[in-house]
Amino acid sequence: MTLAPLTVPPAEADTRLDRWLRRRFPWLTQGALQKLLRTGQIRVDGRRAEASTRLAAGQEVRVPPLPEATAPKPAARTTGKVISETEARALQARVLHRDASVIVLDKPHGLPVQGGPGIARHLDGMLEALAFGAERPRLVHRLDRDTSGVLVLARSAPAAAALARAFRGRDVAKTYWAVVVGEPAQPAGRIEMALAREHGARGERTVPAAPGAKDAARAVTDYDVLDRAKRRAALLELRPLTGRTHQLRVHCAEALGCPILGDGKYGGQAAHLEGLPGALHLHARALRLPHPEGGWLEVAAAAPEHMAETMAFFGFANPAPRPPRRLP
C-alpha cells in the first residue's frame, strides 16, 4: 500500500505530531492514532515518531491511506450532536479573555481536556463552540480532569506555535491554589523532589524518584501558605517551575505531608475531611504569558464552587481575581 507524504508548512512548525494529525484527520480517535504511531505506520522523515514529537517546517510526514469507512459523517461532527446548544453557551460563558490570537477559558472541574478510553465528553471535542466565527481553536497545554481554572487556547496555527514554545520554554508563570489537609511546617519554601512514573495494579501514578533513577525527572515547586485553620487545613499558593504530571499533587502529599483535599489518589483517606466536598481542591488560579502578538497577557480565574464553599467554611480569604490585562 502506497503511503501518502504530507509536508509540514512553516506556519505549523513546533506543533505536536498528534495534534497536527488530528487537524487533518479529525475523525481519527486518539486510540486509533496511537496505534498507527505505535506500529510505525506513521513516520516523520522516514523514522518512527511519538505523539509528542514536535514538528519542524519542511518535515515529511507519511500516513497510510485511511479507509473510506473512517471518514467523518455529518451526524458525528462536534456541532449539534456531541455538544448541545446549552452546553455550547455554558462553555462560551466560561471564556475569560478573547482576542484575535488567544482564548482563555476557565475550565470547569471534572471536564477532561482530551479524550481517551471511556471518555466520550471532553473539551477537545467541544472546541468548535469556541470558534466565534473563526477557525476552531487549538489546545496548547492541558489541565487534569479534576483541576479547574485557567486554560489557554490558540486561534491560529502561528499563535499555537508561539504559545507552545512559551509553555515548553517555561516562559509562562503559573499560579495554582490548593486547599490541603494539615499545614506545612514552613510558611513558604521551595520543593525540589524528582519524580518518576510508575505502572502498577492501580494504574499509572507519579511517585518520588529513587536516588539515581534513570527515569527521574527534575520537579520544582515554590509555595506560600496564604491562610490556615488551626493546623486542620491550609490554603496554599503553588508556583510550579517545571511541568511534570501530577507534580503539585505529589509534592503536597509527599514533600509537605499535606495532601490536597479530595486527592484520594495520592493522599488516600487522609485527603478527605468529613463534611467537606470530596472533589479535588486544586485550581489553576492565574497565568502570565507572552502574547503571540507581543507583550504579555495576565489572566486569573475565580475559585470553583466546591473550593469557594470549603474556603468559606474555614474562613479563608477568597479575593476576586483581577480582570484580564495586556501588558507591554
- Cell match 479575593: residue? 319
Strand 148-154 relative to strand 220-229: parallel, antiparallel, unpaired?
unpaired
Q: Give the C-alpha separation, 18 to 16, whole Å.
A: 6
Q: Give the C-alpha separation, 160 to 23, whole Å.
A: 13
Under 8 Å between Cβ of 91 and 129: yes
- 215 flagged as catalytic: no
**Each residue of 122-159: b (16+ CB within 10 Å) or e?**
bbbbbbbbbeeeeeebbbbbbbbbbbbbbbbbbbbbbb
Q: Give the C-alpha separation, 86 to 213, whole Å.
A: 49
Contacts of 46 (CB under 8 A, 6+ apart): 60, 62
Which of these, 156, 124, 161, lies nearest to 142 by C-alpha position?
124
36 CB-side CA count, 13 A: 23
Cell of 278: 470530596
Residue 89 carries which side chain, given as an amino acid letter? R
The one catalytic residue among 144, 222, 224, 227: 144
DSSP assignment of 102-139: EEEEEEPTT--SS-BTTB---GGGGGGGG-TTSSPPEE
Q: Give the C-alpha separation, 115 to 186, whole Å.
A: 39
Question: Catalytic residue numbers?
Answer: 144
